[in-house]
Amino acid sequence: MATTSHFESMLREVSLRVTRPRVAVLTAVHEHPHADTDSIIGVVRADLGEVSHQAVYDVLRALTTAGLVRRLQPEGSVARYEARVGDNHHHVVCRSCGAIADVDCAVGYAACLTPSNDTGYEIDEAEVIFSGRCPDCVAATPAASGG
Ligand SMILES: [Zn+2]
Ligand SMILES: [Zn+2]
């Protein structure tokens, strides 16, 4: 479990001033992977008391720009944030309940970095969002036959 001073040094490493909202947001994102902004605001308020939406948005933007937090936006979903950065992992989203899970890249492969046509772009990153049903939803509803 990462400590507050660990988060403070993470902020310093990317030259961000250490403030209580920044530490609180960073902590919330670490403890609640793939949380949306509203959930993060709830966690931060439980920790710090009254903090404006705008303040949390601003902190999330600063942390994302600094590379401490990764923002993802599955189709049909609000933006989510996570602290697992730097490994370019992918995500699977449940169409029924919106649950999100991490999907690791195949070991030894830079996933999907060789598109059939790069149209001249220099490509260094790919993100895949898989869609389907999570185990809970599969267990709750028998698979629809056919489709
Ligand atoms: Zn589900
Ligand atoms: Zn993730």
CA of 46 to the centre of ligand 2 (A): 24
Check residue 110 and give its pLDDT: 54
pLDDT in the model for residue 130? 86
- pLDDT tens digits, the chain, 147 residues: what are they? 568 899 999 999 999 999 999 999 999 999 999 999 999 999 999 999 999 999 999 999 999 999 999 999 887 788 999 999 988 788 999 989 989 999 887 555 555 556 666 578 777 777 788 889 999 999 998 765 554
Backbone φ and ψ of 108, nearest 5° = 90, -5
Give residue 118 CA to ligand 1 midpoint distance, Å: 34
From the list 62, 58, 93, the residue with the least C-alpha distance to 78 is 93
Which residues have C-beta within 8 Å of that of residue 87, sequence separation ≥ 6? 104, 105
**Residue-level pLDDT at 119:** 74
| Ion ligand 1 nearby residues (CB, 5 A) | 94, 96-97, 99, 134, 137
Q: How far apart are CA 69 and CA 43, in angstroms?
A: 16
pLDDT at position 45: 96
**How confident is the model at residue 74, as a pLDDT?**
84
**Overall pTM > 0.85:** no
Q: How many whole angstroms from 147 Cα to the centroid of ligand 1?
A: 17
Which ligand has its closest atom nearest to the C-alpha of 82?
2
Ligand 1 center–CA 20 separation, angstroms: 34
Surrounding ion ligand 2 within 5 Å at CB are 82, 102
Q: How far is the CA of 64 from the centre of ligand 2 (A)?
A: 14
Q: Are strands 100-103 and 80-82 parallel, antiparallel or unpaired?
A: unpaired
